[in-house]
């Protein structure tokens, strides 16, 4: 291992070829192995030998690429060339998230930060190379010249995937909304090599999916949520939406129950969190 390569995971695991050389495997079999993830590669080792797979040759894919009849429950499918391989690992509760962290760890990607602040596009913000790290659930971006920024991965509210020109090339761009160190709603835009953007998209989508519930907001609750998203003060909400104060407080309690807001002062003030910003963005897009 080179000096700049870090071992991040070393555990027992299992793998299974669901697709091999582009064809579904007729009788897929699970094989046990020692599974090592470094910042550069994925390594499988067993009595038959060792396979070393650079992250640049691996793509995170959805379950729908797994042929019918293959039991993929709890496993993570990865595309490696013409193959689709299922992975599971002992002691890792979320293999996909851990793999995303490994393939992005210490990598140089492209970032535009902050591209948007409070809904306002920052015309003077530019794309820069940045070193990406995800440690202790905090994303850190290191910029040339010593500048840096960080935010909690759980604070990501929404993501959008688009295609546009970045540094003279047509690239996939992830527009990621989160809060910054000043508690402002900002967007950081990410791009780079395909396996980087795929891993980033999988990471952020998994964060959002994991905290989503089954609760459906009423039209009035959506109205309050969107008003908070638009910057209306909780103290002015009753007048803004034309509801009695006690009814607004009941709605705040429901939003607290579904994890859309954080309580700031008891029964008087709330603040949207990442889940709430995501819910408000979805509600606004439907109107």
DSSP state of 55: G
More confident residue, 274 or 224: 224
Which pLDDT tens digit goes with each residue over 97-126? Answer: 899 999 999 999 999 999 999 889 999 999
Structure tokens at 37: 């993830």
Question: What's the chain's average pLDDT?
Answer: 87
The confidence score (pLDDT) of residue 213 equals 60
Which pLDDT tens digit goes with each residue over 55-104? Answer: 999 999 888 888 887 877 888 999 999 999 999 998 888 888 899 999 99
Q: Above 90 in pLDDT, residue 269?
A: no
User: What domains can you pick out in the chain, each with its CATH number?
Assistant: 7-103 (2.30.29.30), 108-211 (2.30.29.30), 219-286 (1.10.10.10)
CA distance 32 to 141: 36
Nearest CA to 133 among 109, 154, 115, 156?
Answer: 109
Q: What is the pTM of this model?
A: 0.75
Q: What is the DSSP string of 152-191?
A: EGGG--EEEEEEEEETTEEEEEEEEEEE-TTS-EEEEEEE
């Amino acid at each position: 291992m080179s000096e700049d390569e870090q071992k991040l995971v070393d555990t027992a695991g299992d793998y299974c070829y669901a697709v091999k050389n582009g064809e579904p495997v007729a009788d897929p079999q699970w094989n046990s192995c020692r599974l090592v993830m470094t910042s550069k590669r994925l390594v499988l080792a067993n009595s038959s030998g060792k396979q070393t797979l650079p992250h640049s040759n691996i793509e995170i894919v959805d379950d729908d690429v797994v042929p019918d009849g293959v039991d993929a429950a709890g496993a993570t499918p990865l595309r490696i060339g013409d193959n689709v391989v299922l992975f599971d690992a002992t002691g890792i509760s979320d293999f996909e998230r851990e793999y995303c962290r490994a393939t992005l760890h210490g990598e140089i990607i492209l970032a535009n930060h902050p591209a948007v602040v409070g809904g306002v596009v920052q015309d003077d913000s530019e794309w820069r190379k940045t070193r990406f790290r995800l440690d202790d659930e905090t994303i850190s971006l290191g910029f040339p010249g010593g500048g840096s920024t960080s935010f909690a991965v759980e604070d990501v509210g929404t993501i959008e995937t688009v295609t546009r020109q970045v540094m003279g090339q047509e690239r996939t761009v992830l527009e990621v909304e989160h809060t910054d160190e000043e508690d402002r709603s900002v967007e950081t835009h990410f791009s780079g090599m395909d396996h980087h953007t795929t891993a980033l998209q999988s990471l952020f989508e998994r964060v959002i999916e994991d905290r989503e519930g089954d609760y459906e907001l009423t039209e009035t609750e959506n109205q309050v949520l969107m008003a908070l998203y638009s910057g209306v003060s909780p103290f002015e909400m009753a007048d803004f939406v034309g509801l009695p104060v006690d009814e607004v407080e009941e709605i705040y309690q429901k939003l607290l129950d579904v994890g859309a807001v954080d309580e700031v002062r008891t029964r008087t003030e709330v603040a949207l969190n990442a889940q709430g910003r995501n819910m408000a963005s979805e509600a606004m897009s439907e109107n």
